[in-house]
Amino acid sequence: MNIMNLLTALPGAVAQGLIWGIMAIGVYITYKLLDLADLTVDGTMCTGGAVCIMMMLKGYPVWLALAVAFLVGMLAGFVTGFLHTFMGIPAILAGILSQLGLYSINLRIMDNKANQAINVDKYDLLVSLRYIKNVPIYQNTILIVAVIIVVLIAILYWFFGTEIGSAIRATGSNPNMSRAQGINTDVTKILGLMLSNGIVAFASGLYAQYQGFADINAGRGAIVIGLAAVIISQVLFGKIQSNFAFKLAFVAFGGVIYYLVLQVVLWLGLNANDLKLVSAAIVAVFLAIPHLNAKRKGGAGNA
């Protein structure tokens, strides 16, 4: 095992981790703030990339393609929210239904092709795998995505401090009390799901550019990666007293840690076909750590 191979691969792992960290921030909104299990993200993680790549192939600028990807993701979140709140379907089933429907929609977006590639030499991409090394610093993918994360966290920090944002957080904390205070929890759930899936689709647009193509299976298992980043951030940084902005930053950093762990595992000789299994194992381990720690402390206390 050549250590140089690992060091060479690390910048790419950091870049991917940061992009997936944006996606994880979207998952954090539903999983932690709204206390909803939303599986729509497995669909919107493909939708955003499909919209972004197809718009750029048709000549639209990258900023407009990403903006539309965000809006389309919000629309998918609205559908899930509508199914859950107004039609009374449990959140997890509503997400599955939206995800299932998005598969066909994503194929339509990509002109009924499972894969649509974009050439970095012909199109003005914001991020790319080729913009990791030997490029001007202002063009470096790691720097650009890091700046995007800082801006995103600043916007979310402001938004969740507003009346609407506070209502969304209150809905997740205590829906009964929120309703007693006059908050329409159905509306706040829909808004939270829309914001979450919009962010996921935006991350998808970045990821499709980074890879150089949009793929119909790009979102398969995305929720596992998003949850992994959220859980890793909680396990490693949960005891640090920090404000909301730092919690979001820790979630994004959790995505980086996740991809660094995967890169090390691959370097150790794991078959790439086993990555999904490893992903599930990583999530299971980090989910179990808080429980095992509490159990250990409880046992020590009883002793």
DSSP string, 247-259: HHHHHHHHHHHHH
The CATH number covering residue 69 comes to 1.10.3470
Residue-wise pLDDT for 4-54, tens only, equals: 666 676 788 889 899 999 999 999 999 889 988 889 999 999 999 999 999
The sign one gets for the Cα dihedral 27, 149, 217, 234 is negative
Answer yes or no: is pLDDT of 134 > 90.
no
Gap between the Cα atoms of 33 and 185, Å rounded: 13
Predicted TM-score of the model (pTM): 0.91
Gap between the Cα atoms of 213 and 176, Å rounded: 45
- DSSP 8-state code for residue 33: I
Give the count of beta carbons closer than 10 Å to the beta carbon of residue 163.
7
Answer yes or no: is pLDDT of 151 > 80.
yes
Gap between the Cα atoms of 175 and 168, Å rounded: 10
- In terms of average pLDDT, the best of 72-76, 121-125, 129-133 is 72-76
**pLDDT given for residue 302 in this prediction:** 53
**pLDDT given for residue 101 in this prediction:** 94
The domain of 235 spans 3-302
Answer yes or no: is pLDDT of 71 > 60.
yes
- Give how many domains the chain has, as a whole number: 1
Residue-wise pLDDT for 213-228, tens only, equals: 999 988 888 888 888 8
- For residues 144-149, average pLDDT: 95
Confidence of residue 286 (pLDDT cuts 50, 70, 90): confident
Q: Give the largest Cα separation in the chain, rounded.
A: 69
